[in-house]
Amino acid sequence: MTKAVIAATGLFTPEQSISNEELVAAYNAYAERFNAAHAAEIAEGDVAELTPSSVEFIEKASGIKSRFVLDKTGILDPERMVPHLPARSNDELSILAEMAVKAAEQAIKAWGKPVSEIGAVLCAASNMQRPYPAMAIEVQQALGIEGFAFDMNVACSSATFGIKTAADFIASGSVKAVLMVNPEICSAHLNFKDRDSHFIFGDVATAVIVEAEDQAAPGGWEVLGTRLKTVMSNNIRNNFGFLNKAALPTDAVEPLQSNGLTDKMFVQQGRKVFKDVVPMVADMIVDHAAELDIDPTGLKRMWLHQANINMNQFIGRKVLGREPEPHENVIILDEYANTSSAGSIIAFHLHQDGFEPGETGLICSFGAGYSAGTVFVSKRA
């Protein structure tokens, strides 16, 4: 059975960024207008008054300080609170594919080999721009790659599920190299009018090239083992889909938020998610490490899903058996926020330094489903 190697990674970061201060100002302006417009209903108890947000609330709840987005103007407009992303014709490269291609081009350049050696493209992400044609096939065409391509969606765990799928293709001999991309336009499914979640997400795209060990150049990361887990839960949910259109009034032409369909966007029960997911993931990591004969307390570094700093710190302490050093439990969500499937890959891409051959690390993601994936890697000479 051929072993898999993570040979290269890539990252596309949007040019625009929104600070907590900017986001809070926009939300509070919206909340003030809402409360004024519904003053009578609020006084009667028929409508709940909106509570202002604050920088302190956001940072305590999440550890997030800013987020990159494709369009900040629409998000920060109290009359809109939705990114403005103009539609493109079918003859143009779609916006999600464009992001993925930019991240992939960076990974391919770092890899240093022709795309003709790539046999498959996977687009693994939470938020697909459309059902079909598959986003992966559009990326495949844009990059001039032969073979096959398909999309996969396991929410925030999509990247680790994608790495395992790629490694399995390598092990079976189906292909010699796989390109996996994780483009995420998370700002488009976030309800920026909801105080409890308006700060969570950002936009980004990552790319990973997984290659057969017997043809890989020196360096990179040997995939020591992969494991996946899913458990059904409604505590993180997004009901936005093509059937929503069938539920709209015949004269409805405005965005979801204007039609009172914000329940079709991202919603979560944060405390329940923390209580359920954190121990599940920590136990999964420790059990998987034991199966691979790896001492989890000796991990050089963990690149965890970047959802919430409190979750990451708890998992880090449970796995290492002590308080992790900053370089051992990488945090990038302060700058990028939650970028769903891309978060752990951003952390991995930006913080691979300081490893000697044979030292081990962990790429781990977790999220809606519930879903979780662990990928143990070892630095190659």
Query: What's the mean pLDDT when you consider all of the chain?
Result: 94
Neighbour count for residue 113 (Cβ, 10 Å): 16
Residue bearing tokens 């944060």: 270
Report residue 270's pLDDT band, with 50, 70 and 90 as the boundaries. confident
Model confidence at 123: pLDDT above 80: yes
DSSP letters, 167-180, are HHHHHHTS-SEEEE
Separation CA 356–CA 381 (nearest Å)? 8
Question: Is 364 marked active-site?
Answer: no
- Specify the DSSP element, H or E, that contains 22: helix 20-37
pLDDT (tens digit, 9 = 90+) per residue, 40-85? Answer: 999 999 999 999 999 999 999 999 999 999 999 999 999 999 999 9
Contacts of 77 (CB under 8 A, 6+ apart): 26
Separation CA 163–CA 299 (nearest Å)? 20
Question: For residue 66, what are the CA distances in angstroms to 21, 37, 239, 327, 332?
Answer: 9, 30, 26, 21, 10
Contacts of 183 (CB under 8 A, 6+ apart): 12, 96, 97, 99, 100, 103, 123, 125, 135, 204, 205, 342
Separation CA 23–CA 29 (nearest Å)? 10
CATH 3.40.50.1970 for domain 223-235+265-379, yes or no, is: no
Across 122-132, average pLDDT: 94
Residue type, 262: T
Catalytic residue among 123, 156, 186, 364: 156
Res 261: pLDDT: 54
Q: What pTM does this model have?
A: 0.94
